[in-house]
Amino acid sequence: MKVISAIVGLVLLGASFTLAYLSNSNVEQMNKNKEAIVMKYVSDSSIALEDGDYKVAIKFAKLAIAADPKSKVGFKAYDAVMEAKYKPSENETSTQTAPEVDEEEDEEEDMGC
Query: pLDDT tens-digit profile of 37-58?
Result: 999 999 999 999 999 999 999 9
pLDDT digit string (tens) for 8-27? Answer: 899 999 998 888 877 777 77
Residue boundaries of the structural domains of the chain: 7-87
| Predicted structure pTM score | 0.58
pLDDT at 112: 65
Q: What is the pLDDT of residues 68-105, one digit of tens each?
A: 999 899 999 999 999 998 887 666 655 555 556 555 55
CB 65 within 8 A of CB 78: yes
Rg of the Cα atoms in the chain? 31
CATH architecture of 7-87: Alpha Horseshoe (1.25)
pLDDT in the model for residue 106: 54
| 98/4 Cα distance (integer angstroms) | 91
